[in-house]
C-alpha cells in the first residue's frame, strides 16, 4: 500500500508590494503553494508607475541601491534578465554638486526598464497574484488549513501560513480581527507622508544630469523620467519633503497641486506643463525600523509580518524583509 503524499502546504500573502512578491517567489521555489492578495489594480504597491499619454512616470520609489550581497544576487539576476539597469552612480544637489546616498557617492543607482512597476510585474509573472482583492479580515479556524483570509467580496481563502506585508497601521487592523496582538512599538509606528507631483512638459526640464536631484531641502527627490530613460516625453516627478507634505495634506487637491508646481518651478525651467497630477502617499516612509527583518508571534510561527518597516525603509529593505518572512513560515509549516 502506498502512502498518499502530503499536499503542498499553502501560504497566503497579503500585499503584492516588493516584500510580498519576494516572499511569494521564495516560497514557491521551496515547493509551497502560494496565493497573494492585493487591493490595488496591479501588483507593486509603492513600486508605482503611471502613464499620462505617451509619458511614463515613476511616482513611488525612483531608484534603488544595493547594500547587501543577499539583495545584490537578485539585482544581478534582474539586470541579466534585462529588467533592471544601472541609471547612474550619484545625483547632484541641484547646483551641480555631487550628492551621496547614505554610504557616500559612486554607488550604482538602479532603475527599471519601463518604470519601477515593471519589476513588480516581472516578479508576479507566474505567481497566483490576485489584484482588486482587498483583504477585509483574518481569522484562525480549527480546520485543516487554519488561517482564513476574508476578502471584501465575502469570499474566504484558507491557508496553513500567512504573511502580512501592508504598512503597519493596516496590518494592525487586520491582525486585530485574527486576535493577534502586535508589540506596541510596531502598531504605533507612524509613516511620513509624501505629496507627489507628476508633470508632463512641452520641452526638457531643468533637472540636471543624470536626471535626478537628491538633496534639496524642499524635496526628497526630483526626477526627470525622460532622462532616466523610461518616458518618451519630458516628464518630471517631484516628491515634497515630509514637513511640506504634512502641512499641505488637508489642502484641497487643486490648491496642493498648484503650491507644489510653484515649489517645483526651478526644476521646470522654461517648460510649460502639458498635463499634471497630484498623488498622495499616506504611508510613504516608516519613521521607525524594527530591529529584525520580520516579526512573528512566539506562539504562532505560521504568521509573519514583513515590509519595509523591518529591514529598512527602501526597496532593498522591503525585499529582504519578504525573504526573511518566507524562510520563517516555510520552516513553520
Ligand atoms: C514617494 C516614495 C518614494 C520612494 N522612493 C524610494 C527610492 O527612491 N528608493 C527606495 O529604495 N525606496 C523608495 N521608497 C520606498 C519603497 O518604495 C518602499 O520601501 C517599498 O516599495 C515598500 O514595499 P513593501 O512591499 O514593504 O510595501 P508596499 O509596496 O506598500 O506594499 C504593500 C501592499 O499591500 C497592499 N495592501 C494594503 N492593505 C491591503 C489589504 N487590506 N488587502 C490587500 N492588499 C493590501 C497595498 O496595496 C500594497 O500593494 C519610496 C516610497 C515612496 C512612497
pLDDT for residue 101 is more than 50? no
pLDDT over 70 for what percent of the chain? Answer: 95
Q: How many CA atoms lie within 13 A of 89 on its CB side?
A: 4
Mean pLDDT value of segment 134-146: 90
- In ligand 1, the atom with minimum distance to the C-alpha of 307 is 26
Mean pLDDT value of segment 278-304: 97
Cβ(195) – ligand 1 distance below 6 Å: no
Domains assigned to the chain: 1-39+133-189+288-333 (3.50.50.60), 48-67+90-109+191-286 (3.90.660.10)
Q: ω into residue 189 within 30 of 0, thus cis?
A: no
The string of DSSP codes covering 42-106 is: STTTTS-EEEETTEEEE-S---B---SHHHHHHHHHHHHTTSEEEEES-EE-SSS-EE--SS-SS
Distance 309 CA to ligand 1 centre (A): 10
Split at pLDDT 50, 70, 90, the class of 138 is: very high
Split at pLDDT 50, 70, 90, the class of 144 is: confident
Does the predicted TM-score (pTM) go above 0.85? Answer: yes
Q: How do residues 53-65 score in pLDDT, each as one tens digit? A: 999 999 999 999 9
Distance 7 CA to ligand 1 centre (A): 33
Distance 218 CA to ligand 1 centre (A): 22
- In ligand 1, the atom with minimum distance to the C-alpha of 46 is 29
pLDDT number for residue 277: 97
Distance 240 CA to ligand 1 centre (A): 17
Partners of 239 in beta bridges: 196, 221
State the residue for C-alpha cell 541609471: 87
Q: How do residues 190-201 score in pLDDT, each as one tens digit? A: 999 999 999 999
Nearest Cα residue to 20 out of 135, 108, 115, 109? 135
Residues with Cβ within 8 Å of residue 13, at least 6 apart in sequence: 20, 23, 24, 34, 35, 36, 37, 162, 163, 164, 165
Q: How do residues 118-137 score in pLDDT, each as one tens digit? A: 999 999 999 999 999 999 99
Lowest mean pLDDT among 103-117, 148-162, 250-264, 303-317: 103-117
pLDDT number for residue 92: 76
pLDDT number for residue 274: 98
pLDDT number for residue 46: 98
Amino acid at each position: 500500500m502506498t502512502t498518499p503524499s502530503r499536499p503542498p502546504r499553502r501560504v497566503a500573502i497579503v500585499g503584492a508590494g516588493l516584500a510580498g512578491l519576494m516572499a511569494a517567489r521564495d516560497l514557491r521555489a521551496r515547493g509551497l503553494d502560494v496565493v497573494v492578495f492585493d487591493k490595488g489594480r496591479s501588483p507593486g504597491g509603492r513600486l508605482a508607475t503611471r502613464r499620462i499619454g505617451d509619458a511614463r512616470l515613476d511616482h513611488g520609489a525612483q531608484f534603488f541601491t544595493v547594500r547587501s550581497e543577499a539583495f545584490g544576487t537578485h539585482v544581478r539576476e534582474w539586470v541579466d534578465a534585462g529588467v533592471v539597469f544601472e541609471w547612474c552612480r550619484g545625483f547632484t544637489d541641484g547646483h551641480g554638486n555631487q550628492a551621496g546616498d547614505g554610504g557616500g557617492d559612486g554607488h550604482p543607482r538602479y532603475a527599471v526598464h519601463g518604470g519601477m512597476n515593471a519589476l513588480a510585474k516581472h516578479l508576479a509573472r507566474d505567481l497566483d497574484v490576485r489584484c482588486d482583492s482587498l483583504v477585509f479580515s483574518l481569522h484562525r479556524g480549527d480546520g485543516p488549513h487554519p488561517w482564513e483570509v476574508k476578502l471584501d467580496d465575502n469570499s474566504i481563502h484558507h491557508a496553513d501560513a500567512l504573511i502580512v506585508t501592508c504598512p503597519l497601521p493596516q496590518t494592525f487592523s487586520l491582525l486585530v480581527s485574527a486576535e493577534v496582538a502586535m508589540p506596541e512599538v510596531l502598531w504605533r509606528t507612524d509613516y511620513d507622508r509624501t505629496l507627489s507631483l507628476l508633470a508632463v512638459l512641452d520641452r526638457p526640464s531643468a533637472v540636471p544630469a543624470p536626471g535626478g536631484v537628491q538633496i534639496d531641502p524642499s524635496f526628497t527627490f526630483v526626477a526627470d523620467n525622460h532622462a532616466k530613460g523610461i518616458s518618451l516625453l519630458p516628464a518630471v516627478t517631484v516628491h515634497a519633503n515630509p514637513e511640506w507634505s504634512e502641512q499641505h495634506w488637508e489642502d484641497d487637491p487643486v490648491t496642493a497641486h498648484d503650491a507644489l508646481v510653484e515649489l517645483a518651478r526651478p526644476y521646470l525651467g522654461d517648460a510649460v506643463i502639458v498635463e499634471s497630477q497630484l498623488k498622495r502617499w499616506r504611508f510613504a516612509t516608516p519613521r521607525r525600523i524594527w530591529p529584525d527583518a520580520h516579526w512573528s508571534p512566539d506562539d504562532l510561527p505560521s504568521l509573519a509580518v514583513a515590509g519595509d518597516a523591518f529591514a529598512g525603509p527602501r526597496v532593498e529593505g522591503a525585499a529582504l524583509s519578504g525573504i526573511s518572512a518566507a524562510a520563517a513560515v516555510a520552516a513553520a509549516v
